[in-house]
Amino acid sequence: MQQVKKKYLQADEAIGKSKGGKSTKVHVSVDALGNPRRIILTAGQAHDVVTAPALIEGEDTQAVIADKAYDSDAFLALIAQMGAQAVIPLKSNRIEQRQYDENLYADRNKIERFYNKAKQYRRPATRYEKTARNYLAFWYIASCVILTL
């Protein structure tokens, strides 16, 4: 019996097309100390809020801090269902107003600092790998190095 080769699919490799060319988006969740908890790759054109439930799935947290891209009713309902506080600023086109803790939102810089540290390493900063598995592995390696510093 002849084996059938699996056709190479770019969607499986987290590569998306945009005006600037091919790109990959890296979604990371960090804990209160800025240590990485979960890393997920998607195609560059994928919206952030699509991956958000996978980032917080199974986490035991008191607050979820995110930027405006994560301001959606479905994600806010998921956070409330977890029993956590949503610290997400409102998008400019949101009709229903709600409050968020601006002092707690200042802790969002921890994710930005993690990205800054990770991008100091060449392989996570620039995707040279053809497969998402290998690219994700370099993000894990960079995360381990950051944790040991």
Rounded mean pLDDT, 101-115 = 96
> Please, are residues 124 and 134 in contact by the beta-carbon 8 Å criterion?
no
Q: What is the mean pLDDT of residues 109-115?
A: 96
What pLDDT, in 10s, does the model give residues 54-81?
Answer: 999 999 999 999 999 999 999 999 999 9
Strands 85-87 and 36-43: unpaired
pLDDT higher than threshold 60 for residue 3: no
Amino acid at 62: Q
Domain covering 10-148: architecture: 2-Layer Sandwich (3.30)
Q: How far apart are CA 38 and CA 143, in angstroms?
A: 10
Q: Going by DSSP bridges, is the β-strand pair 63-65/36-43 parallel, antiparallel, or unpaired?
A: unpaired
**How many residues appear in the chain?**
149
At residue 2, the pLDDT reads 56
Task: Pull the structure tokens for residue 24.
Answer: 């990959």
Q: Does residue 12 have a pLDDT over 90?
A: no
pLDDT value of residue 13: 87
